[in-house]
Structure 1
Amino acid sequence: MKINRTWMIGAFVLAGTGLTSLGATVATAEGMADSAAVKAQPHDTMTDMKQAPAKEAAAAMHMHHHDMTAGTMRSTVEYTLPAVTLVRDDGKAVSLVDELNDGRPVILTFIYTTCTTICPMVSQTFEELQGKLGADRDKVHLVSISIDPEQDTPARLRAYAARFDAGPEWQHYTGTVEASIAAQRAFNVYRGDKMNHTAVAFFRAAPGKPWLRIDGLATPAELLSAYHEVIASN
């Protein structure tokens, strides 16, 4: 019974991490072991046998998480801004073209307020970037555009912005579904479903200049470096 119980524990833990085949291997090895020899094992050895599958599963989960979050990809792209009207978090209807072409360097991303995974991490990174910008903070326009405008009213965007201590240079935008999709398509981030949203940030030194695109969960230090790189190339 001890062997069977160990196999069940190993299979249950490993199945939850996609390692069922490894659980089966462990079970086969234990099933072939002589039961008398197993009973003769010291307590510590038996404990190690039971903990091994869990440790392997935890290691696999850590590696999977690391692979999902590690690494960014950079590209320089020319984008044509769509002539759409968005609604700023202060409730004012504005032209996207005018907002992005006001002369300031732009750092832009896409979010939605009910997101519980990528968006909070991206917004927290922007929050930390604000502090790292130092004296340049008042010269930059940080932009977050909602990909869920039906839910993200200006009031909800203001509450979301407050969670991340957004200063006056960091503004959030919503609007109609059509306007949001047009903005997403213009920056090649439209995926048809907000649940397929991925982390991405865009940098531009001035109107008419190309955009630096960073796909992936960049750190605040990476974003700051990208900002300085774009400004230096202007």
Structure 2
Amino acid sequence: MTWTRRAWLRSFSASLLAVASRDLYAHLGTGPVEPLLPAPDAWVVDQTGQRRRLADMLQGNVTALQTMFTGCSSVCPLQGAMFGAVQEGLPRLRGRYPLRLVSLSIDPLSDTPKALHEWLQRMGAGPSWRGAVPAGDVEKLRTALAGRAPAENIDRHSTQVYFFNAAAQLCWRSPPLPQPEEVLAVMGHLAKA
């Protein structure tokens, strides 16, 4: 009888925490994206120089996407290191869909496919970690990802991770600079969905 009551209290507390967290995340622009949003309609050039639609790059994979630029010396190396740690944890995750990491440059004037390729090499990127540079309106793309207008100064870009399901739909936004374990938990959940 005591165990049943404790189990009920734990379950009730977890439910309250989940609802409170969802409301807090929604206020901060993090957490679940409701309704799910299609990938932004944008053309990108990947680190090999191939031009393609962002949605096509995401389609069929559970993807964690970060924004960055190769000339950044403040948070982008931290973001790269975080994705490096996530990359190491990907083999532990099992699901119905392949997993992919994407580093999306927000500085198409300076970031060429070659520069992006070199940045990915410095970060230790493997085959499941791709890079891309937008071939169009960067501010429109950043706004679509974040759900709000981006900071005007490129150095103050978002450090959130944006999660897409295998149908290339944006379904989750992380808090700023998430821990690798948090990224892996969301990806693992989406891979099983």
TM-score category by the smaller chain?
Answer: 0.7 to 0.9
Q: Identify unmatched segments of 5+ residues in structure 1.
A: 1-71
Which structure is higher in RCO with an 8 Å CA cutoff and minimum separation 6?
Answer: 2
**Could you tell me how far apart the structure 2 residues matched to 1:209 and 1:90 are?**
24
TM-score, with structure 1 as normaliser: 0.62
2:61 equivalent in structure 1: 104
CA RMSD of aligned residues (A): 2.3
**Could you tell me how far apart the structure 1 residues matched to 2:67 and 2:52 are?**
17
- The reply on whether 1:156 has 2:115 as its aligned counterpart is yes
Give the Å deviation of 1:229: 2.7
1:85 equivalent in structure 2: 43
Counterpart of 1:207 (choices 167, 176, 184) is: 167
* Percent identity (aligned): 26
Counterpart of 1:124 (choices 71, 81, 102) is: 81
The structure number with the bigger radius of gyration is 1
Counterpart of 2:100 (choices 127, 133, 141) is: 141
Q: Is the 8 Å Cα contact of residues 39 and 170 (structure 2) preserved in structure 1?
A: no
Tell me which moved more, 167-176 or 178-187. Answer: 178-187
Alignment of 1:15-54 (within 5 A): none
SS across alignment from 2:38: coil
112 and 210 in structure 1: CA distance in 2 versus 1, 3 angstrom threshold: closer
Give deviations 1:183-220, integer Å, cap 9, x for gaps: 21211263222122131001233216551110211111
Q: Is the 8 Å Cα contact of residues 159 and 177 (structure 2) preserved in structure 1?
A: yes
Give the Å deviation of 1:83: 2.5
Give deviations 1:46-92, integer Å, cap 9, x for gaps: xxxxxxxxxxxxxxxxxxxxxxxxxx984111333333211100011
2:31 equivalent in structure 1: 75
Q: Identify unmatched segments of 5+ residues in structure 2.
A: 1-27
- Relative to its length, the structure with more strand (as a share) is 2
1:218 equivalent in structure 2: 178
**Could you tell me how far apart the structure 1 residues matched to 2:41 and 2:170 are?**
18
Paired amino acid for 2:112: T
**Could you tell me how far apart the structure 1 residues matched to 2:29 and 2:183 are?**
12
Paired amino acid for 2:185: S
**Could you tell me how far apart the structure 1 residues matched to 2:168 and 2:113 are?**
29
- Relative to its length, the structure with more helix (as a share) is 1
